[in-house]
Amino acid sequence: MSVDAVLSRIAEIRTQIDALRGTPTTAAASGSTASGAASSGAFADALATATGTGTAATTTSAGAASTAGATAAPATSVDAGRGTLATGSGATGSDVVAAAEKYLGVPYVFGGESRSGMDCSGLVQTVFKDLGVTMPRVVPDQADMGVPVGSLQDAKPGDLIIPKGEQHIVIYVGEGKVLHAPRPGKDVRIVDNWYKDSDIATIRRIVPSEATAPAATPTVASAASAQSVTDLQTAALLSAMRVGSAA
């Protein structure tokens, strides 16, 4: 490559650097991705010019395309912990209620845990499974999960109420009502809560009652832009060094 061609290429890279420096740091995620892919391609192209190879740009572009086309892996199931909330699934108390309402009308079947029939603890286990949370199968074990809630006054939708004796379990849906699979001959239903605090062994909260606001990430776009500028500056320097060695 002639000296004039290399100098022309350096001028193009400087123009790209100036353009990147003028890019707002609050760009949308899609704009940031496109800018990052373009700058990566420019870096690879300049690097290929400096080293005398012609494959770097193609390889980098393919990698960028592969990254852009990738999709997030499905969330895996998390265990309901003892003494802690199962935050990993992203589910909230309202999600628990919504998932449980899908089983309204399913007949009670002892030992059942499907739409063809389920018992009280089978219902609870299935509801949380639908939300990506693994719960034990029987009431006494379910009564150990999550964190305790002090009283009915503190209960939130999605909390589990276990009466003394731990022979039954219901899902609190709010406004003094519960959802449960009662007994043979009945189906999954919502009824007025009949338990008093004195009747209850424990109330358990398995997932957060409300969603937690995601942490702000204002520096991601600016960091990507700064890295792109650095890459292009490095490419320009490599090109200039090659011109010097050729002379």
Residue-wise pLDDT tens digits, 13-40: 777 777 766 655 444 444 444 445 455 4
Single pTM value for the model: 0.58
- C-alpha span between 98 and 190 (Å, rounded): 12
Q: Do 106 and 201 have their domain in common?
A: yes
SS3 60: helix
Q: Let me know whether 175 and 109 are in one domain.
A: yes
Indicate whether 233 pLDDT > 70: no
In a domain, 10, yes or no: yes
Which domain CATH number covers 156? Answer: 3.90.1720.10
Question: Catalytic residue among 20, 120, 139, 145, which?
Answer: 120
Residues 115 and 199 in one domain: yes
Q: Is residue 213 situated within a structural domain?
A: no
CA distance readout (Å), 2 to 6, 16, 46, 57: 6, 22, 15, 20
Could you report the per-residue pLDDT of 47-60, keeping only the tens digit for each?
Answer: 454 445 444 444 34
Number of domains in the chain: 2
Catalytic residue of the set 168, 177, 189, 242 = 168
Residue 179 known to be catalytic:
no
Cα 101 from chain centroid (whole Å): 24
Instruction: Kindly name the residue from 100, 131, 135, 180 that is annotated as catalytic.
Output: 180
Asked whether residue 97 falls in the same domain as residue 178, the answer is: yes
Q: Which range of residues forms the domain containing residue 186?
A: 88-205
Is the pLDDT confidence value at 86 over 60?
yes
- Residue 234 belongs to some domain of the structure: yes
Note if 120 is an active site residue. yes
Is residue 144 flagged as an active site residue?
no
193 and 227 belong to one structural domain: no
> What integer is the mean pLDDT of 223-227?
59
Average pLDDT on 163-190 reads 98
| Together in a domain, 230 and 199 | no
Same domain, 108 and 134: yes
